[in-house]
Amino acid sequence: MESLESIASKYNVDKLELGYLRHYEERFEPIRNEVTKVLEIGVETGCSHRMWLEYFPNATIYGIDIFVYGVDEFNELQEGNPNLDRSITFKGDQSNTDDLGNFISQYGSDFDIIIDDGGHTMKQQQTSMRELFSKVKSGGFYVVEDLHTCSGEWNELYGYKVIEEGDTLTTDLLDSFQDFTSEVTETSYLSKEDIKNIESSIKSCITEIGVSSYTNPKGYTYRWPTMLSFMEMK
The DSSP bridge pattern shows strands 37-41 and 111-116 to be parallel
pLDDT tens-digit profile of 101-158? 999 999 999 999 999 999 899 999 999 999 999 999 999 999 999 998 887 666 665 6
Whether the per-residue pLDDT at 217 is higher than 80: the answer is: no
Nearest CA among 133, 143, 34, 49 for reference residue 90: 49
- Cβ atoms of 41 and 64 closer than 8 Å: yes
State the pLDDT at residue 160: 73
CA distance linking residue 138 with residue 111, whole number of Å: 9
State the pLDDT at residue 28: 98
Mean of the pLDDT values across residues 173-187?
84
Dihedral sign, Cα of residue 47, residue 4, residue 212, residue 145:
positive
The DSSP bridge pattern shows strands 221-233 and 202-215 to be antiparallel
User: pLDDT over 70 for what percent of the chain?
Assistant: 88
Angle between helices 192-201 and 170-178 (to 10 degrees): 50
State the pLDDT at residue 161: 82
Q: What amino acid positions are annotated as catalytic residues?
A: 120
Map out the domains of the chain with their CATH numbers: 4-233 (3.40.50.150)
